[in-house]
């Protein structure tokens, strides 16, 4: 707010105390200086003019004094009206210039030139912009006109000139020079103070940015730690549930299905929060893995079908037959998230009717294929005014949606961000009370023709020759792995930290290591690097699969850099673990001949795969 000053205020310091901006202070000082110096010069001029019978000079000076005194008083009362005061001063300056040349002095002297310079300076320093150019033009114009007229005409004004006599003339010239110098100094000082202030603010900003970055890093570390602490027990719950299903009765199997579904739902919520955080920091990167779309979608729908069955809603999947033998290169995890969120939402917001997913091959070219995904439901629908806002984080179509249907409000926001990574956008059509339809297209590169993977045999002895070292500090997760591997006929031993891993590897015959990345004494990365430096070439080149509950996007490069062959995120399915073991089993020689030299290239099944 503008400072409140008394009407009879004559203190410049009080005026300046109410201003924070350096340039605003400079303008007030410049205006105050101009008005004060002008009145001093007038006070000196008037008595001399009267003494020499220069009454026009005296009258003009008296009027200017009254105008400037009123301007000075108004400046000390309403300093925020500085522009009005500046206009008054500049207009008065123009009148002085014109009247000097035409009536009073009738010649171009140094005083008139000084008034022109002062007017130009004040017009830019006090007002600026185009208005300053106008004032500058009208202050210089009379000088050129005077020079042209006096050069081509000897006719003069009938009024006799009334020049200021010495020594007043010299005093006025001196004061004008002081005024010009002071105006420059005040504006330069304001500029210098602004630069200093800017540097101080930048220094404070740098400190704040460092604090915010530290806070963001702490937040990321917290989320990473939270991810690990949540996903580790979820890994055990999902794994044990999967093991129990193999020997459970029909009733127990149904209960275990409910337990597994609830656990997966909890995991999905944790993943939503973590993935949204990563997307906000642009840390999500797509993998390039050969994927069979029908098989991936059937796996997704086997998880969602239980939820749909609970509500007696038909879940219909219509997949283009031409995709059945087609293998595309994509990120199955992110594609699963997109479909899971869209179809999960459709089931959640549909009370009766059906939920459909249609997948259609739109176009085939030499560069790849374009596939269209459409998710339809007969649910509550979305108002037209909310079709854009539903993709904002923590936003839903109505304020009571969370209360009635639950959810974090992050699903569609994550879908939108993930589709941007696929160079795609999502379209939505909906009518309140009639249902919704979500549509998006994705371009995929085509990989080698897909070959169906064999299912895990219940008591497979295909890898029974393997001796696997489990490096895991969590005893429950270690026990889970032992049970899984035991069902496949694999022999196991357990190490609770990195140093135990190295000791057991030296003492026992081991074919492969399942390495948890977060262990005491030595973590998984340090342990892997230590193993690669062992003197025994067979043990130094033993295949290693990393196990981690972390969700960082740069885990795979770190794993490869540490000399490990692959990694598996917790919680993992038995099928995923079996598949990775099967791929690396070929590297293991049962008679313990030197193993294949480990390279730091991606596994063979990832080589040559690239996203479009």
Q: Quick one: pLDDT at residue 136?
A: 93
Domain contains 317 = yes
CB 120 within 8 A of CB 133: no
Spatial neighbors of 149 by CB under 8 A, at least 6 apart, are none
* DSSP state, residue 517: S
**Low-confidence stretches of the chain (pLDDT beneath 50):** 1, 397-407, 450, 452-454, 457-461, 589-612
Pick from 367, 499, 377, 527: nearest CA to 438 = 377
Rounded to an integer, what is the distance from CA 176 to the centroid of its chain?
Answer: 56
Residue with tokens 């996007």: 553
CATH number of the domain that residue 544 is part of:
3.40.50.2300
Q: Quick one: pLDDT at residue 456?
A: 52
The beta strand positions in 401-481, using DSSP E, are 427-431, 435-446, 467-471
Tens of pLDDT, residue by residue over 280-308, are 655 667 778 888 888 888 878 877 887 78
Distances (CA, A) of 486 to 196, 251, 516: 72, 26, 19
Same domain, 421 and 474: no
Tens of pLDDT, residue by residue over 9-41, are 778 888 888 888 888 889 999 999 989 999 999
Model-wide pTM > 0.75 = no
Q: Final residue of a domain: which of 165, 195, 229?
A: 165
Same domain, 440 and 503: no
Domain contains 65 = yes
3-class SS letters over 524-547: HHHHHHHHHCCCCHHHHCCCEEEE
Same domain, 424 and 501: no
Same domain, 437 and 292: yes
Bridge partners of 430, per DSSP, are 436
Spatial neighbors of 595 by CB under 8 A, at least 6 apart, are 537, 538, 541, 542, 543, 587, 588, 589
Same domain, 509 and 425: no
Same domain, 411 and 489: no
How deeply is 199 buried, as exposed, middle or buried, from its count of CB atoms within 10 A (0-12, 13-18, 19+)?
exposed
Same domain, 573 and 514: yes
The number of folded domains in the chain is 3
Q: Quick one: pLDDT at residue 377?
A: 92
Distances (CA, A) of 543 to 225, 497, 568, 594, 599: 27, 18, 14, 12, 11
Which domain, by its residues, includes 510?
467-606
Same domain, 534 and 594: yes
CA distance 266 to 235: 12
Rounded to an integer, what is the distance from CA 611 to the centroid of its chain?
Answer: 24
Same domain, 412 and 519: no
CATH number of the domain that residue 370 is part of:
3.30.565.10
Same domain, 304 and 402: yes
* DSSP state, residue 391: G
Q: Quick one: pLDDT at residue 554?
A: 67
The tokens for 120 are: 């130009």
Q: Final residue of a domain: which of 165, 200, 225?
A: 165
Distances (CA, A) of 442 to 161, 343, 370, 507: 89, 17, 6, 52
Q: Which DSSP helix (H) or strand (E) runs through 172? A: helix 168-245
Same domain, 429 and 471: no
Same domain, 311 and 442: yes
Q: Quick one: pLDDT at residue 152?
A: 66
Q: In what order do the strands lie in the sheet with 512-516?
A: 491-495, 467-471, 512-516, 544-548, 566-569
Domain contains 230 = no
Q: Final residue of a domain: which of 123, 148, 165?
A: 165
């Amino acid at each position: 707010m503008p400072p409140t000053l008394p009407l009879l205020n004559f203190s410049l310091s009080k005026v300046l105390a109410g201003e924070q901006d350096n340039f605003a202070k400079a303008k007030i000082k410049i205006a105050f200086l101009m008005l004060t110096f002008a009145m001093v010069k007038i006070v000196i001029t008037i008595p001399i003019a009267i003494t020499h019978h220069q009454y026009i000079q005296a009258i003009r000076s008296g009027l200017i004094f009254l105008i400037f005194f009123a301007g000075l008083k108004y400046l000390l009362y309403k300093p925020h009206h500085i522009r009005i005061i500046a206009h008054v001063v500049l207009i008065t300056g123009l009148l002085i210039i014109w009247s000097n040349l035409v009536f009073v002095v009738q010649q171009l002297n140094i005083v008139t030139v000084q008034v022109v310079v002062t007017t130009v300076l004040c017009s830019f320093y006090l007002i600026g912009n185009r208005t300053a150019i106008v004032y500058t033009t009208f202050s210089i114009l009379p000088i050129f006109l005077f020079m042209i007229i006096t050069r081509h005409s000897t006719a003069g004004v009938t009024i006799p000139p009334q020049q200021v006599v010495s020594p007043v003339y010299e005093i006025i010239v001196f004061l004008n020079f002081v005024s010009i110098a002071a105006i420059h100094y005040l504006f330069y000082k304001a500029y210098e103070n602004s630069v200093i202030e800017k540097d101080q603010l930048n220094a404070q900003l740098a400190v704040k940015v460092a604090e915010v970055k530290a806070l963001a890093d702490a937040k990321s570390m917290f989320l990473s730690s939270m991810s690990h602490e949540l996903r580790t027990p979820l890994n055990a719950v999902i794994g044990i549930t999967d093991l129990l299903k193999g020997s459970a009765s029909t009733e127990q199997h149904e209960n275990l299905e409910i337990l597994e579904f609830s656990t997966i739902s909890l995991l999905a919520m944790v993943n939503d929060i973590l993935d949204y955080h990563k997307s906000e920091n642009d840390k999500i990167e797509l993998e390039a893995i050969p994927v069979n779309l029908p098989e991936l979608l059937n796996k997704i729908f086997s998880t969602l079908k239980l939820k749909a069955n609970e509500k007696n809603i038909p879940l219909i999947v219509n997949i283009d037959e031409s995709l059945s033998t087609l293998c595309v290169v994509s990120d199955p995890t992110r594609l699963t998230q997109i479909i899971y969120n869209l179809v999960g939402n459709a089931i959640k917001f549909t009370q009766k009717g059906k939920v459909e997913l249609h997948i259609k091959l739109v176009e085939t070219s030499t560069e790849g294929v374009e596939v269209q995904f459409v998710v339809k439901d007969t649910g509550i629908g979305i108002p037209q005014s909310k079709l854009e806002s539903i993709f904002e984080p923590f936003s839903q179509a109505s304020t009571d949606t969370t209360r009635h249907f639950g959810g974090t409000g992050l699903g569609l926001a994550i879908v939108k961000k993930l589709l941007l990574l696929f160079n795609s956008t999502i379209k939505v059509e909906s009518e309140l009370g009639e249902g919704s339809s979500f549509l998006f297209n994705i371009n995929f590169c085509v990989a080698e023709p897909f070959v169906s993977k064999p299912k895990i045999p219940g008591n497979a002895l295909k890898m029974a020759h393997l001796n696997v070292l489990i490096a895991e500090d969590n005893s429950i997760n270690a026990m889970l792995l032992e049970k899984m591997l035991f069902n496949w006929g694999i022999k196991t031993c357990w190490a609770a930290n990195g140093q135990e891993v190295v000791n057991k590897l030296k003492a026992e015959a081991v074919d492969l290591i399942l390495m948890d990345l977060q262990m005491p004494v030595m973590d998984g990365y340090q342990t892997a690097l230590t193993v690669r430096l062992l003197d025994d070439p067979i043990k130094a080149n033993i295949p290693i699969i990393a196990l981690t509950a972390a969700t960082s996007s740069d885990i795979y490069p770190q794993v490869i850099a540490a000399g490990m062959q692959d990694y598996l995120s917790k919680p993992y399915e038995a099928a995923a673990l079996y598949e990775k073991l099967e791929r690396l089993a070929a590297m293991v020689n049962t008679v313990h001949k030197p193993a294949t030299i480990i390279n730091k290239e991606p596994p063979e099944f990832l080589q040559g795969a690239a996203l479009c």
